[in-house]
Protein backbone atom coordinates (compact mmCIF):
# COMPACT_ATOMS: atom_id res chain seq x y z
CA UNK A 1 0.00 0.00 0.00
CA UNK A 2 1.45 3.36 -1.04
CA UNK A 3 2.17 5.90 1.68
CA UNK A 4 0.21 9.16 1.46
CA UNK A 5 2.01 12.44 2.17
CA UNK A 6 0.15 14.05 5.06
CA UNK A 7 0.65 17.49 3.54
CA UNK A 8 -1.45 16.39 0.52
CA UNK A 9 -4.47 15.36 2.60
CA UNK A 10 -7.18 17.98 3.06
CA UNK A 11 -9.24 16.73 6.00
CA UNK A 12 -11.68 19.64 5.73
CA UNK A 13 -12.47 19.33 2.01
CA UNK A 14 -15.87 17.72 2.62
CA UNK A 15 -16.86 20.40 5.14
CA UNK A 16 -15.83 23.19 2.79
CA UNK A 17 -17.79 21.62 -0.04
CA UNK A 18 -20.91 21.49 2.14
CA UNK A 19 -20.69 25.12 3.22
CA UNK A 20 -23.56 27.41 2.19
CA UNK A 21 -21.27 30.41 1.74
CA UNK A 22 -18.23 31.22 -0.39
CA UNK A 23 -15.32 29.75 1.57
CA UNK A 24 -12.69 31.73 -0.33
CA UNK A 25 -14.46 35.01 0.35
CA UNK A 26 -14.79 34.06 4.02
CA UNK A 27 -11.01 33.60 4.13
CA UNK A 28 -10.57 37.14 2.82
CA UNK A 29 -13.07 38.56 5.31
CA UNK A 30 -11.37 36.75 8.21
CA UNK A 31 -7.80 37.69 7.19
CA UNK A 32 -8.65 41.28 6.28
CA UNK A 33 -7.51 41.25 2.67
CA UNK A 34 -6.78 38.95 -0.27
CA UNK A 35 -3.13 39.94 0.05
CA UNK A 36 -3.05 38.60 3.63
CA UNK A 37 -4.68 35.32 2.53
CA UNK A 38 -2.19 34.79 -0.27
CA UNK A 39 0.84 35.40 1.95
CA UNK A 40 -0.52 33.21 4.74
CA UNK A 41 -1.25 30.39 2.31
CA UNK A 42 2.20 30.64 0.71
CA UNK A 43 4.03 30.64 4.05
CA UNK A 44 1.91 27.78 5.42
CA UNK A 45 2.73 25.64 2.38
CA UNK A 46 6.41 26.54 2.66
CA UNK A 47 6.53 25.31 6.26
CA UNK A 48 4.37 22.23 5.65
CA UNK A 49 6.51 21.06 2.73
CA UNK A 50 9.86 21.39 4.54
CA UNK A 51 10.94 18.24 6.45
CA UNK A 52 13.09 20.26 8.87
CA UNK A 53 9.92 21.82 10.29
CA UNK A 54 8.21 18.49 11.05
CA UNK A 55 6.94 18.17 14.60
CA UNK A 56 5.34 14.72 14.70
CA UNK A 57 7.98 13.44 17.18
CA UNK A 58 8.04 16.57 19.34
CA UNK A 59 6.11 15.09 22.27
CA UNK A 60 8.52 12.15 22.47
CA UNK A 61 11.74 14.15 22.70
CA UNK A 62 13.62 14.78 25.94
CA UNK A 63 13.81 18.43 26.97
CA UNK A 64 17.44 18.62 25.87
CA UNK A 65 16.68 17.11 22.46
CA UNK A 66 13.58 19.30 22.13
CA UNK A 67 15.67 22.41 22.73
CA UNK A 68 18.23 21.27 20.16
CA UNK A 69 15.40 20.61 17.69
CA UNK A 70 14.09 24.13 18.33
CA UNK A 71 17.53 25.64 17.69
CA UNK A 72 17.75 23.69 14.43
CA UNK A 73 14.32 24.90 13.31
CA UNK A 74 15.11 28.51 14.23
CA UNK A 75 18.40 28.43 12.30
CA UNK A 76 16.73 26.80 9.30
CA UNK A 77 13.90 29.35 9.34
CA UNK A 78 16.42 32.19 9.30
CA UNK A 79 18.29 30.51 6.44
CA UNK A 80 15.10 30.24 4.38
CA UNK A 81 14.13 33.84 5.17
CA UNK A 82 17.49 35.04 3.86
CA UNK A 83 17.58 32.71 0.84
CA UNK A 84 14.06 33.61 -0.28
CA UNK A 85 14.48 37.29 0.63
CA UNK A 86 11.21 37.25 2.52
CA UNK A 87 9.64 40.49 3.65
CA UNK A 88 9.20 41.17 7.37
CA UNK A 89 5.52 40.27 7.02
CA UNK A 90 6.35 36.97 5.33
CA UNK A 91 9.12 36.15 7.80
CA UNK A 92 6.81 36.75 10.78
CA UNK A 93 4.24 34.35 9.34
CA UNK A 94 6.84 31.71 8.55
CA UNK A 95 8.08 31.77 12.16
CA UNK A 96 4.47 31.65 13.38
CA UNK A 97 3.67 28.56 11.32
CA UNK A 98 6.77 26.71 12.54
CA UNK A 99 4.74 26.63 15.78
CA UNK A 100 7.53 25.78 18.20
CA UNK A 101 8.29 28.41 20.87
CA UNK A 102 11.95 29.40 20.92
CA UNK A 103 14.34 32.20 21.72
CA UNK A 104 13.66 33.96 18.41
CA UNK A 105 10.08 34.65 19.55
CA UNK A 106 11.26 37.08 22.24
CA UNK A 107 14.05 38.46 20.07
CA UNK A 108 11.64 39.47 17.29
CA UNK A 109 8.48 39.82 19.36
CA UNK A 110 9.71 41.84 22.37
CA UNK A 111 13.38 42.89 22.21
CA UNK A 112 13.30 44.46 18.74
CA UNK A 113 9.86 46.13 19.20
CA UNK A 114 10.95 47.57 22.58
CA UNK A 115 13.92 49.28 20.93
CA UNK A 116 11.76 50.40 18.01
CA UNK A 117 9.06 51.78 20.27
CA UNK A 118 11.08 53.18 23.18
CA UNK A 119 14.52 53.88 21.75
CA UNK A 120 15.68 57.18 20.30
CA UNK A 121 16.68 57.37 16.63
CA UNK A 122 20.33 57.12 17.66
CA UNK A 123 19.65 54.03 19.78
CA UNK A 124 17.69 52.40 16.98
CA UNK A 125 20.49 53.08 14.51
CA UNK A 126 23.00 51.47 16.88
CA UNK A 127 21.10 48.41 18.14
CA UNK A 128 18.57 47.39 15.47
CA UNK A 129 21.11 46.49 12.72
CA UNK A 130 22.88 44.21 15.21
CA UNK A 131 19.58 42.57 16.16
CA UNK A 132 18.39 42.20 12.54
CA UNK A 133 21.62 40.40 11.62
CA UNK A 134 21.57 38.24 14.78
CA UNK A 135 24.92 39.66 15.80
CA UNK A 136 23.23 40.03 19.17
CA UNK A 137 20.31 37.97 20.53
CA UNK A 138 17.86 39.79 22.76
CA UNK A 139 15.18 38.98 25.30
CA UNK A 140 12.70 40.97 27.39
CA UNK A 141 13.49 41.01 31.13
CA UNK A 142 10.47 42.46 32.86
CA UNK A 143 8.75 39.75 34.92
CA UNK A 144 10.22 39.17 38.38
CA UNK A 145 9.95 36.25 40.77
CA UNK A 146 7.90 38.20 43.29
CA UNK A 147 5.89 40.41 40.97
CA UNK A 148 4.84 38.65 37.78
CA UNK A 149 3.40 41.24 35.44
CA UNK A 150 2.80 43.81 38.20
CA UNK A 151 5.11 46.35 36.59
CA UNK A 152 4.68 48.98 39.31
CA UNK A 153 5.88 46.44 41.88
CA UNK A 154 9.19 45.62 40.16
CA UNK A 155 12.20 45.82 42.49
CA UNK A 156 15.24 45.77 40.17
CA UNK A 157 16.97 49.15 40.44
CA UNK A 158 18.91 51.34 38.02
CA UNK A 159 20.83 53.85 40.12
CA UNK A 160 22.32 56.79 38.22
CA UNK A 161 25.95 57.53 39.08
CA UNK A 162 26.70 61.13 37.99
CA UNK A 163 30.43 60.69 38.67
CA UNK A 164 30.78 58.16 35.86
CA UNK A 165 27.65 59.00 33.84
CA UNK A 166 26.50 55.38 34.22
CA UNK A 167 23.55 53.42 35.53
CA UNK A 168 24.13 50.70 38.11
CA UNK A 169 21.70 47.81 37.57
CA UNK A 170 21.09 45.78 40.72
CA UNK A 171 18.83 43.03 42.10
CA UNK A 172 18.40 44.05 45.76
CA UNK A 173 16.23 41.11 46.86
CA UNK A 174 15.54 37.49 45.94
CA UNK A 175 12.08 38.49 44.71
CA UNK A 176 13.65 41.04 42.35
CA UNK A 177 15.17 38.17 40.30
CA UNK A 178 13.99 38.34 36.70
CA UNK A 179 12.04 35.12 36.22
CA UNK A 180 10.58 33.47 33.12
CA UNK A 181 11.90 35.63 30.23
CA UNK A 182 12.04 33.44 27.13
CA UNK A 183 15.43 33.12 25.45
CA UNK A 184 17.21 34.18 28.64
CA UNK A 185 18.17 30.74 29.93
CA UNK A 186 20.68 29.79 27.23
CA UNK A 187 20.51 31.94 24.11
CA UNK A 188 20.34 35.67 24.75
CA UNK A 189 23.37 37.95 24.76
CA UNK A 190 21.40 41.10 25.60
CA UNK A 191 18.15 42.07 27.29
CA UNK A 192 15.85 45.01 27.58
CA UNK A 193 15.70 45.18 31.38
CA UNK A 194 12.95 47.04 33.21
CA UNK A 195 14.07 48.60 36.48
CA UNK A 196 13.30 51.43 38.88
CA UNK A 197 15.21 54.57 37.92
CA UNK A 198 16.81 56.03 41.04
CA UNK A 199 18.52 59.45 40.90
CA UNK A 200 19.78 61.23 44.01
CA UNK A 201 17.62 58.95 46.14
CA UNK A 202 14.42 59.73 44.20
CA UNK A 203 12.45 56.94 42.50
CA UNK A 204 11.32 57.93 38.98
CA UNK A 205 9.48 54.68 38.32
CA UNK A 206 10.02 51.93 35.77
CA UNK A 207 12.23 52.50 32.71
CA UNK A 208 13.84 50.24 30.12
CA UNK A 209 17.58 49.65 29.76
CA UNK A 210 19.61 47.71 27.20
CA UNK A 211 21.99 45.46 29.14
CA UNK A 212 24.55 43.00 27.77
CA UNK A 213 24.37 39.69 29.63
CA UNK A 214 26.85 37.38 27.94
CA UNK A 215 30.20 37.71 26.21
CA UNK A 216 30.08 37.89 22.42
CA UNK A 217 33.36 35.96 22.38
CA UNK A 218 32.53 32.81 24.38
CA UNK A 219 28.89 33.37 25.49
CA UNK A 220 29.83 33.29 29.19
CA UNK A 221 27.92 35.52 31.66
CA UNK A 222 29.51 38.93 32.17
CA UNK A 223 30.80 40.01 35.60
CA UNK A 224 27.97 40.75 38.02
CA UNK A 225 25.43 38.80 35.94
CA UNK A 226 23.99 35.54 37.26
CA UNK A 227 21.60 33.73 34.93
CA UNK A 228 20.42 30.34 33.79
CA UNK A 229 17.53 28.15 32.71
CA UNK A 230 14.61 27.74 35.15
CA UNK A 231 14.11 24.11 34.13
CA UNK A 232 11.21 22.10 32.76
CA UNK A 233 7.63 23.27 32.54
CA UNK A 234 4.45 21.22 32.93
CA UNK A 235 3.11 19.64 29.76
CA UNK A 236 4.24 17.13 27.18
CA UNK A 237 5.59 19.78 24.82
CA UNK A 238 4.33 22.98 26.40
CA UNK A 239 7.03 25.63 26.62
CA UNK A 240 9.86 23.15 27.12
CA UNK A 241 11.20 24.13 23.71
CA UNK A 242 11.81 27.61 25.18
CA UNK A 243 14.76 28.41 27.45
CA UNK A 244 12.87 30.49 30.01
CA UNK A 245 15.41 31.90 32.43
CA UNK A 246 16.30 33.54 35.72
CA UNK A 247 18.51 36.63 35.97
CA UNK A 248 20.14 38.60 38.80
CA UNK A 249 22.40 41.66 38.74
CA UNK A 250 25.12 42.56 41.22
CA UNK A 251 25.80 46.27 40.63
CA UNK A 252 26.26 45.97 36.87
CA UNK A 253 27.29 49.26 35.26
CA UNK A 254 26.05 50.37 31.84
CA UNK A 255 26.56 53.65 29.93
CA UNK A 256 23.84 56.27 30.34
CA UNK A 257 22.96 56.05 26.62
CA UNK A 258 21.72 52.47 27.12
CA UNK A 259 18.60 53.72 28.84
CA UNK A 260 15.71 53.72 26.35
CA UNK A 261 15.05 57.44 26.16
CA UNK A 262 12.46 58.10 23.50
CA UNK A 263 9.78 59.03 26.03
CA UNK A 264 11.90 60.18 28.97
CA UNK A 265 10.47 63.28 30.58
CA UNK A 266 12.38 66.51 30.07
CA UNK A 267 12.38 67.08 33.84
CA UNK A 268 14.40 63.90 34.35
CA UNK A 269 16.89 64.94 31.69
CA UNK A 270 17.13 68.35 33.33
CA UNK A 271 17.74 66.62 36.64
CA UNK A 272 20.60 64.62 35.06
CA UNK A 273 22.12 67.80 33.68
CA UNK A 274 21.88 69.57 37.05
CA UNK A 275 23.51 66.67 38.89
CA UNK A 276 26.33 66.36 36.37
CA UNK A 277 27.05 70.11 36.61
CA UNK A 278 27.06 69.90 40.42
CA UNK A 279 29.56 67.06 40.38
CA UNK A 280 31.58 68.51 37.54
CA UNK A 281 31.46 72.33 37.86
CA UNK A 282 32.86 74.38 34.97
CA UNK A 283 36.52 75.23 35.34
CA UNK A 284 37.16 78.96 35.78
Please check whether residue 206 is in contact with residue 188, taking contact to mean a CB–CB distance below 8 angstroms: no
Tell me: the pLDDT tens digits for 49-61? 999 999 888 888 8
The b/e string for 51-69 (b: 16+ C-beta within 10 A; e otherwise) is: eebeeeebeebeeeebbeb
196 DSSP β-pair partners: 157, 206
| Percentage, residues of the chain above pLDDT 70 | 89
Element (H, E) at 98: helix 88-98
- The CA distance from 158 to 256, in Å, is 10
Q: What is the pLDDT of residue 160?
A: 97
Burial class (CB in 10 A: 0-12, 13-18, 19+), 158: buried
245 sits in which H/E element:
strand 245-249
pLDDT in tens, 149-193: 889 999 999 999 999 999 999 999 999 999 999 999 999 999 999
121-155 in b/e form (b: 16+ CB < 10 A) is eebbeebeeebeeeebbbbbbbbbbebeeeeeebb
Do the Cβ atoms of 197 and 168 come closer than 8 Å?
A: no
Asked which of 88-92, 120-124, 192-196, 269-273 is least confident by mean pLDDT, the reply is 269-273
Residue 271: predicted pLDDT: 52
Mean pLDDT value of segment 242-252: 97
pLDDT at 263: 86
Given a cut of 50, whether residue 260 has pLDDT beyond it is yes
- 10 falls in which pLDDT band (50, 70, 90)? confident
Q: How many CB atoms lie within 10 A of CB 76?
A: 15
Span of 19-33, 72-86, 123-137 with lowest mean pLDDT: 19-33
* Phi, psi dihedral angles at 191 (to 5 degrees): -145, 150
> What is the end-to-end Cα distance of the chain in Å, rounded?
94
pTM for the model stands at 0.83
Amino acid sequence: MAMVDATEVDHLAAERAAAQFDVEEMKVAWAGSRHAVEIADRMARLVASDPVFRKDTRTMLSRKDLFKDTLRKAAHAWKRIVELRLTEEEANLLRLYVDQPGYVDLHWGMFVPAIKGQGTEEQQQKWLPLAYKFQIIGCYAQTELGHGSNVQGLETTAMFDPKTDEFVIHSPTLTSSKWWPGGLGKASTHAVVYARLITEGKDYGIHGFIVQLRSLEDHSPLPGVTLGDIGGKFGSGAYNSMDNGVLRFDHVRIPRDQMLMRFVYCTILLCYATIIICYNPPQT
